[in-house]
Structure 1
């Protein structure tokens, strides 16, 4: 299994970095490969993000040496979102079918595997100190929160799967946001999470389209051009917002001191 290790960084590293250094520190480019599980481990809140593409096989979620336990979820909880065709997640042998952009929460201590010819599973795990039950979340039956405004090209539908209200978790929050046709911004005005790390995984972009993702401290921001099925790590000191050249969606996931979705610090556009 391929594991990409990312160390924690400070805000000054963004202001002086080259584009290549920014991409190597914050952008995760190659998570998805047929018949493989690929992972990236970041020391920012010790999150693991991974991609599992069964491609006609049954893929087990393997342990990582850096996690230090025989099973990946021995001391962790897991969020799964399917960004491909329908497939199944096997949790302790029980199948859970996920369609496009459906989600699944898996509690500490479970064994997990993946099946589905065209399925493509995005995974996020975080340390856990309690065990919570498995829960499936359907995008079709989850009531979205409609935010933003077409006048500012920021209209979007926010699907909250695990977010501090509803199903419990230890540290993990995750969900999906779908940007409305005609809008480009996924978050604007931008904000900070002083007590959490957030990772965005962009999906649904055409091959030749990109999202211009903004990162860094307010007043000293930089940017990355991000392709489909690539993820960006946002440490607690960094804003995270982006504008796409074509319609897209993104999976957001957070881990840190709490699971209060509203615990954030807005940043005015004029302060960026």
Structure 2
């Protein structure tokens, strides 16, 4: 398990490209029949990826719960959310099999002892993008099919930001302790996300970019509004954004990304908006 420690505003200003990538960029999210795991001390969020191809994979495959978390099993004091961006798959949660098909999401509560993932077709494997965060109580195990998500079509092509925000693990759909997750898809010809930019001091956020063609990229902007930096993102890569940082992106083509937030509240609109002309 890769462990990342918190970086404050002042050190951030002096970081090189290599240091920024080492601290905030998450690569190799999906590995065949394996689980990737990055633990961030920013609100203690854990970013994971699981791509079962020929095997049924336990999410604790590369985790020692006691050594890494001081618990007997991963979700003893944590909740988990996942969105499947690959082929149709199955989650086995404490022995219960649950279909989690393409673009479906699943919320797994605190106290769940075992979570396994498998694909329905090894030729089109499932790709479970996973976030887990500390929790204080157990809410119901819930599958959120794509059709049951809240779909908000926003922006316009003239501003290069026509997009659909798909809210899955969201206060208007289900209760969680602190985890929220959703998926935003940009239409062809649109390249900007989360612009005008905002911060939310009360929550951190992880972005996971995918559906980026091999010869394209997304420039992810982060940092204080008057001290912005960028990280070049390629397909199936994630980036950690502290609460003091903006989080915005511009691609060389349209793309899709999953956003996940944890922190003091789950108020989706609790955002401190910034004027684009004030960014530096």
Structure 1-normalised TM-score? 0.96
Inter-partner Cα distance in structure 2 for 1:231 and 1:164: 24
Residue-by-residue CA offset, 1:75-116 (whole Å, 9 max, x unaligned):
000000111111111111112222222111110111210001
Which sections of structure 2, spanning at least 5 residues, go unmatched? Answer: none
Cα offset for 1:269? 0.5
- 1:199–1:254 contact (8 Å) kept in structure 2: yes
Does the Cα contact within 8 Å between 2:150 and 2:168 map onto a contact in 1? no
> Is residue 2:62 matched to residue 1:60?
no
Moved beyond 6 Å, runs of 4+: none
Query: Structure 1 CA distance, aligned partners of 2:189 and 2:173?
Result: 31
Of 35, 39, 42, the residue aligned with 2:40 is: 42
State the alpha-carbon separation in 1 of the partners of residues 248 and 142 from structure 2: 29
Aligned pair partner of 1:224 in 227, 231, 237: 231
Equivalence for 2:213: 206
Give the Å deviation of 1:247: 2.4
Q: Are 1:84 and 2:86 matched, yes or no? A: yes
Report what 2:170 is aligned to. Answer: 163
Q: What is residue 14 of structure 1 aligned with on the other side? A: 12
Q: Which whole-Å deviations, capped at 9, do the CAs of 1:205-262 have from their partners, x for residues lacking one?
A: 1122111000000011000110111000000000000011122111110000011111
Q: State the Cα RMSD in Å.
A: 1.1
Work out the CA distance in 1 between the residues paired with 2:126 and 2:240.
24
Q: Paired residues, what number?
A: 270
Contact 1:105–1:135 (Cα < 8 Å) also in 2: yes
SS of 1:22's partner is helix
1:99 equivalent in alignment to 2:97:
no
Which residue of the partner structure matches residue 191 of structure 1?
A: 198
